Structure 1
Amino acid sequence: MSKVKYYYDSETLSYRKIEGKRGRKIGYIFLYVASVVLCSILLVTIFFYTALETPNEKVLKRELTNMQFRYDLLNKKITQAQTVLENVEERDNNIYRLYFEANPIPEEQRKAGFGGVNRYEEMYNYENADLIISTTKRLEELQKRLVVQSKSLDEIAILAEDKEEFLASIPAIQPVNNENLTRMASGYGMRNDPFNKTRKMHWGMDFTAPKGTPVYAAGDGKVVRADNSAAGFGKHIRIDHGYGYVSLYAHLSKYNVRKGKKVKRGDLIGFVGSTGRSQAPHLHYEIRKNGDKINPINFYYGNLSPKEFEELLKNAAKQNQSLD
């Protein structure tokens, strides 16, 4: 119950009760109701503004999601291109430039960055600046490496003009035809030994094929060995191609050449077998440069299509068991 208030009336010399004005009460009520309504409108507006998206915001959000998806795809394609380019660069340094006695291109020169002013300053204002900048950097690095590689191949082409005999001597074809292969059993690298089941270095490539499958010379040269007196290789052939290159063909069933015979690339030299330290019929194939055993995977540019070579790369990389 509200308190009754009084005031002193000087004319009547007495206290009189203060009567509230009706209009003022109505004003107070109206002001209260108006305040509640305004607050409600403000809260609803804030809710809709934060919880609901305008059509334009939805479009922008879809575009942003689509852009992020496209950048992810672009990065995957850049990664694939880098893998292919790295393979070309490895060949360029370790084979092509070595062939022609040209100095390898240093890694820092191939992958050198761009100095000077900040090339990406204008990109920092974007919402996904990190994604955009990192992708741009990778793309520009790839472009520069392609330019360096292109110039290197131009140089190699000039050096190759007077090297026809040299190129013919290099072991450059797969020694067993693809149509005769059962599979590419094992590649160069650490593999499981089939006899003692331990990990050991496998210095060549194993091509599984039926006994009697033809084996071909990988390049021009002279047969320096055709015997079975090397431990583990059984009947095997070694061809000296000159320029420090020697190719080896092991576990043969029989020979088609003898020591001292000169051969051309693609000549029939023997037949697949399982002699020596072998678990099943296959050809063990090695390449040596100045006495060092090197990966034969880089020497098949003479008779394989890009698709066939890609499949060979995939199979050679499998960490499986060798056959010898």
Structure 2
Amino acid sequence: MSKVKYYYDPESLSYRKIERKKRTTLKYASMFIIASALFGFVFVFISSQYIESPKEKALKRELQNMQLQYSLLNKKMDHAEAVLENIEDRDNNIYRVYFEANPIPEEQRKAGFGGINRYKDLEGYDNSKLIVESSKRLDILQKQIVVQSRSLDEIAKLAEEKEKLLAAIPAIQPVNNKDLSRMASGYGMRSDPFTKARKMHWGMDFTAPRGTPVYASGDGIVTRADAGATGYGRHIRIDHGYGYVSLYAHLYKYNVKKNQRVKRGDLIGFVGSTGRSQAPHLHYEIFKDGQRINPINFYYGSLTAEEFAELLEDASVENQSLD
């Protein structure tokens, strides 16, 4: 119940009741409503600017977490890029140099992505720049990893071929040093034992007793084990692949047959004096791409430095050959 208000009338010397007009009441009511609405608007505006709702707080925490995760992602990409750069450097300057392969051009490794804008869907947000840059770096990093992976696949294949090549090269002396009487004659101009004329001696003669074991100097396939070549007597030829062929002549007997696959160090025959030979010895030759070459350059697999130096000195003496 509202309070009743009075005022003192000096003319009648009495109190009179104050009567509020409806217009006045309506005026005050309107003012109150307007003031309340204005206050409410100001309150809501201030609240929206300075007071966060639970949903806004959750979204803000989610955004901060996203920014932190992108920052950590960029640090991880920094590390990954550094590691990949080191691998790329070793790939170009060590692995490919060793296997005689051309290095991968830098523009191929670092190439980006042309054509349409791949990141259009990521634009228009508050953190679009951060998201787009991170996405670009990740895409380029993935592409570089693919390029490097293919390169390492190629290197692995080259290594496998290199391993086969190293096993195939005729790299050991075909007669053990302990079984040798002496190194009778080397590669070069020598005196023929029958005509005494100087002629080219295309191999090396290892003097050893009849029946001394003869070993394959590299992996390969026996292409001949017969006496059908003039002057060589019983002899063996091994095709090592990669253009290399080794020949073992004047044998006493064979321990292999044609088309047999042999490994370096396998026993293939025995020293003899068959064919055009003056005494028991092994005549040994190496062919590269059909041309005879000096076998002494291939003994790195079985001789010490001192033994090789002694062999080199003996082989350089221009004496008489045994065939």
> What is residue 174 of structure 2 aligned with on the other side?
175
How much does 1:100 deviate? 6.2
Task: Give the Å deviation of 1:289.
Answer: 0.4
Aligned equivalent of 1:275? 274
Change (3 A) 1:165 1:260: same
> Could you say which residue in structure 1 is the equivalent of 2:305?
306
Q: Matched residues in 1 for 2:260 and 2:216: separation?
A: 12
What is residue 289 of structure 1 aligned with on the other side? Answer: 288
Which ranges in structure 2 are unaligned for 5 or more consecutive residues? 1-97, 103-155
Q: Tell me how far 1:165 sits from its aligned partner.
A: 1.0
3-state DSSP class of the match of 2:250? strand
| Mapped partners of 1:260, 1:194: distance in 2 | 34
Root mean square deviation, CA, Å? 2.0
Any conservation in 2 of the 1:100–1:159 contact (CA below 8 Å)?
Answer: no
Q: Which residue of 1 aligns with 2:63?
A: none
State the match for 2:183 in structure 1. 184
Once the 2 structures are TM-superposed, how far is the Cα of residue 230 of structure 1 from its aligned partner? 0.2
Q: Is the 8 A contact 2:192 2:320 kept in 1?
A: yes
- TM-score of the superposition, structure 2-length normalised? 0.51
Please give the residue correspondences for 1:113-152 in structure 2 after superposition, counting only pairs within 5 Å: none
2:310 is paired with a residue of what secondary structure? helix
Instruction: Quote the offset at 1:166 in angstroms.
Output: 1.0
Q: Secondary structure at the match of 2:313?
A: helix
Query: Partner letter of residue 224 of structure 2?
Result: R
SS in 2 for 1:258: coil
TM-score (norm 1): 0.51
CA 167–282 in structure 1, closer or farther in 2 if over 3 Å, else same: same
The match for 1:215 is: 214
Are residues 1:239 and 2:232 paired? no
Q: 1:314 to 1:225 in 2, by over 3 A?
A: same
Q: Percent identity?
A: 76
Equivalent-residue separation in structure 2 for 1:217 and 1:322 (angstroms): 23
Local SS of the residue matching 1:309:
helix
Pairing of 1:1-324 with structure 2 (within 5 A)? 161-162=159-160, 163-324=162-323
The residue matched to 2:269 in structure 1 has which SS?
strand
Q: Rate the CA distance shift 1:210–1:165 in 2: closer, same or farther, 3 A.
A: same
Determine helix, strand or coil for the equivalent of 2:307. helix
Q: Report the alpha carbon displacement of residue 244 of structure 1 after superposing the two structures with TM.
A: 0.5
Q: C-alpha displacement at 1:266, in angstroms?
A: 0.1
Runs of 4+ off more than 6 Å:
99-103
**Distance in 1 separating the partners of 2:233 and 2:267:** 19
Tell me, in whole angstroms, the C-alpha distance in 2 between the residues paired with 1:232 and 1:318.
Answer: 23
> AA paired with 1:229?
G
1:211 and 1:102 map into 2 onto residues whose CA distance is 47
- Following superposition, the deviation at residue 159 of structure 1 comes to 11
Report the residue type matching 2:307 in the other structure: E
Shift of the 177–227 alpha-carbon distance from structure 1 to 2, 3 Å rule, reads same
Question: Aligned-pair distance for 1:312?
Answer: 0.4
Take 1:101 and 1:294, find their aligned partners in 2: how far apart are those partners? 23
Deviations for 1:202-244, whole angstroms, at most 9, x for unmatched residues?
0000000000000000000000000001000000000000001
- Flag structure 1 segments of 5+ consecutive residues without an equivalent: 1-98, 104-157
